[in-house]
Each structure stands twice: as structure tokens, then as C-alpha cells.
Amino acid sequence: MASLTGAEPQPHSVLVPIPPQGHITPFLRLATLLLARGFRVTFVLTEYNARHLARSRGHDWAATGGPSFRVEAIPDDLPLPPSDKQDITQDILSVCLSVRSTCLAPFRDLMVGLGRAPDVSPVTRIISNEGMGFTVDEGFGMLVFFFFTHSACGCWSYLHHPDLVSRGYTRSQSFLVVEQNRRISGGLGLLLTSLLP
């Protein structure tokens, strides 16, 4: 869609990482790449993580992304930790369950607000983690991409998880010996279970 001036609107991506830090950092790197390619980026965090990043990187950390980068926070409805424990990681299971049950409505409100903002180009895509399923909503009417932040070993193990379980391999073992002639893809000789998700 071209504007009245004939110029194409700036593509606008909304990035929504799942709260654990191991997902936020790769999303920040993706945001940097998108900004370098001329995209506008709205980075959506839970309120807890937005405060945590402001404390660790400085309150104006989002400004370093320039005028095409903005950070928005949505509630996760978890109690805040005591003031002397503000930098601890939240319980991962509690965060994941809370995000799944409470973030759709605030995210929908955010998307509506972005659509009405006169100084912001329309959102053209959403990029989120697979754990942020609330971002997939037909009402948004746009492309949604899932960005997997796992290592190659993590992706391999997710792909082959049913096969590993059916063979009795679990994380409780110190390591797995995967013989070359077994039908586990990749022909790996030794796979440390500590590398499995």
C-alpha cells in the first residue's frame, strides 16, 4: 500500500519474545538486524522484564535503537519480587503459564493502539516465540512468524523427542550413546543429555 506521496510505508515488525533471558537476547539481535534493514520495530516485553532491562542496561536503553525502535510492556499478572530481589529470574513455569493465560487481552489492546497511533507505520508482521501462541490471532490479519532461539542440538532433540522417549532416553541419564547404525538422525556418536531441552 503506497501513501499519498507515493512512498512505501516503513515495514513494522512487532517482536514478542517469551520472558526468559535466553529468548530476549536473540530477539534483541533480530531487532538490530531488522532496524538495519529499515524496519520499524516494536519490542514487547512483560512489565517485569521491561523493568529488569531498564535496571541492567539503563533507563534509556530503548532509545539506543533510534526513533524506529520502541519498547512496550504488557502485564504477566505475577507478583513482583521483594525490592532486594528485583534482579532474580522469575519462576519459568509460573511465567509461561501466566503468559499463556493473561497476555492475549493486553497484547490485543497494544495492537489496536499501534494501529491507531498517527506517528507509527502500520504493523506488517508479528515475530514471536513458539511459547507465545496468543500472538496468533486471526483478528490481527497479518503474518505471524515463530522465531526459534534454540541451539542446533535443541532443534534436533525437539524434532526427535518422540523417538528418544520411545527408546527410553531421558535427561536423568548422564549421557546417551547413540550408535552409528541406529535410526536416530544425524549419525551422532555421543549426545550429552545436558544439551537436550
What is the Cα Rg of the chain in Å?
20
CA-based max dimension of the chain: 64
- What confidence category does residue 174 fall into, taking pLDDT thresholds of 50, 70 and 90? very low
> Which pLDDT does position 40 carry in this prediction?
94
- Mean pLDDT along residues 105-123: 88
How far is the CA of 107 from the CAs of 74, 98, 132, 139, 141, in angstroms? 7, 13, 11, 12, 14
CATH class of the domain whose range is 12-149 = alpha beta
Amino acid present at 192: L
Is residue 21 pLDDT above 90, yes or no?
A: no
DSSP result, 143-183: EEEE-----HHHHHHHHTHHHHHHTT--TTSS-EE--TTSS
> Which pLDDT does position 86 carry in this prediction?
62
Cβ pair 51, 71 in contact under 8 A? no
Cβ pair 76, 99 in contact under 8 A? yes
Query: What residue has cell string 503474518?
Result: 143
Residues 6+ apart with CB under 8 A from 184: 160, 163, 164, 167, 178
How far is the CA of 96 from the CAs of 42, 61, 159, in angstroms? 21, 25, 21
> Which pLDDT does position 102 carry in this prediction?
85
Cβ pair 132, 97 in contact under 8 A? no
> Which pLDDT does position 59 carry in this prediction?
63
> Which pLDDT does position 171 carry in this prediction?
55
Residues 6+ apart with CB under 8 A from 29: none
Average pLDDT, the chain: 76
Residue spans per domain, the chain: 12-149, 153-195
> Which pLDDT does position 99 carry in this prediction?
80
> Which pLDDT does position 103 carry in this prediction?
84
Handedness of CA 144, 40, 103, 86 (dihedral sign): positive
Most confident of 51-55, 98-102, 112-116: 112-116
pTM over 0.85: no
Most confident of 4-8, 74-78, 110-114, 145-149: 110-114
